[in-house]
């Protein structure tokens, strides 16, 4: 008997598509709007936009925001795992910076990315590229960590994925508690790197 609640064949195919969390969004930047808003912000802060030091500030700020929120496109070139490699692939200390969506202040640090190959492998530079791509957004570190892990999972279908991010947040340095040097560490583990204690320990030991 057919289960009336079971998904249809098209629905099952859709379920295997990349999740929304791992799709790379392309943000549309209204540069003229950012420039106008910057002028308003300067005035609200008591700074005349046409003062000698800030005449060109709105244009510079708009250009900077457009750059910071526009990741470079790339193709995720993958290859068959012809050699049957079945050990961890780890890229450590990938520098990144992003923008806190709560205070619009930067956070920056390093990412450690690993996967346990299945049928396909990916060019190592693409692991760094995907970190940069998701980082160039208004972010929180927890979501950024998960997005990188989900992208690798959806793109490669590996046996396991591990992502660790270590970052310093300027919203904790220049305001609030003002704790310079404090670092926030987040992790996202998928597949065997989550479920197999030995594989998880190997990954965490390699990125320490």
Catalytic residue among 103, 108, 168, 202: 103
| Domain residue limits at 138 | 76-207
Examine the pLDDT at 179 and tell me if it is beyond 90. Answer: no
- Residue 111 and residue 145: Cα distance in Å, rounded? 9
Last residue of a domain, one of 22, 45, 68: 68
Tell me whether residue 167 is in a domain.
Answer: yes
Q: Is 43 a catalytic residue?
A: no
pLDDT, mean of residues 185-189 = 98
Last residue of a domain, one of 39, 68, 97: 68
pLDDT: which is higher, 22 or 117: 117
90 and 156: one domain?
yes
CA angle centred on 186, ends 23 and 144, rounded to 5°: 20
In a domain, 52, yes or no: yes
d(CA 204, CA 112): 10
Lowest mean pLDDT among 39-48, 78-87, 171-180, 181-190: 171-180
Catalytic residue among 47, 168, 171, 202: 171
Report CA 160 to chain centroid distance, whole Å.
Answer: 18
Catalytic site residue from 100, 112, 139, 147: 100
Q: Which of 112, 139, 147, 169 is catalytic?
A: 169
**Annotated catalytic residue 157:** no
Q: Is 141 considered catalytic here?
A: yes
Please give the model's pTM, rounded to 2 decimal places. 0.85
Domain total for the chain? 2
Q: What's the whole-number mean pLDDT along residues 134-146?
A: 96
Claim to verify: residue 63 and residue 89 sit in the same structural domain: no
Indicate which residue of 28, 141, 168, 202 is catalytic.
141
Active site residue 171: yes
What's the pLDDT band for 22 if we cut at 50, 70, 90? low
- Inside any domain, residue 4: no
**Final residue in a domain of this structure, among 40, 68, 96:** 68
Q: pLDDT digits over 59-79, tens only? A: 999 999 999 999 888 888 899
CA distance 12 to 28: 32
Please check whether residues 55 and 117 belong to one and the same domain. Answer: no
Q: What is the CATH number of the domain that holds 113?
A: 3.30.1130.10
- More confident: 20 or 54: 54
| 101 among known catalytic residues | yes
Question: Strands 120-122 and 138-139: what pairing?
Answer: unpaired
Q: Are 71 and 136 in contact, with CB atoms under 8 Å apart?
A: yes
Q: Is 87 annotated in the active site?
A: no
102 is annotated as an active-site residue: yes
Radius of gyration of the chain (CA): 21
- Tokens 């692991």 belong to 127
**Count of positions (residues) in the chain:** 208
- Examine the domain organization and report whether 112 and 187 are in the same domain: yes
Is residue 12 in a domain? Answer: no
């Amino acid at each position: 008997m057919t289960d009336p609640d079971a998904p249809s064949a098209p629905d099952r195919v859709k379920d295997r598509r990349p999740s929304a969390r791992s799709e790379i969004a392309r943000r549309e930047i209204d540069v003229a709007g950012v420039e106008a808003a910057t002028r308003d912000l300067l005035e609200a802060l008591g700074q005349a936009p046409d003062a000698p030091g800030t005449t060109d500030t709105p244009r510079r700020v708009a250009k900077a925001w457009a750059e910071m929120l526009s990741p470079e496109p790339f193709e995720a070139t993958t290859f068959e795992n012809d050699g049957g490699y079945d050990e961890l692939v780890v890229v450590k200390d990938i520098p990144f910076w992003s923008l806190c969506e709560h205070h619009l202040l930067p956070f920056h640090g390093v990412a450690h990315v690993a996967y346990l190959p299945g049928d396909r492998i990916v060019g190592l530079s693409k692991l760094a590229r995907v970190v940069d791509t998701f980082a160039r957004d208004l972010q929180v570190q927890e979501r950024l960590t998960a997005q990188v892990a989900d992208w690798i999972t959806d793109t490669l279908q590996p046996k396991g994925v591990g992502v660790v991010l270590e970052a310093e947040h300027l919203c904790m340095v220049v305001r609030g508690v003002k704790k310079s040097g404090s670092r926030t560490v987040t992790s996202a583990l998928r597949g065997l790197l989550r479920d197999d204690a030995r594989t998880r320990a190997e990954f965490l030991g390699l990125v320490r």
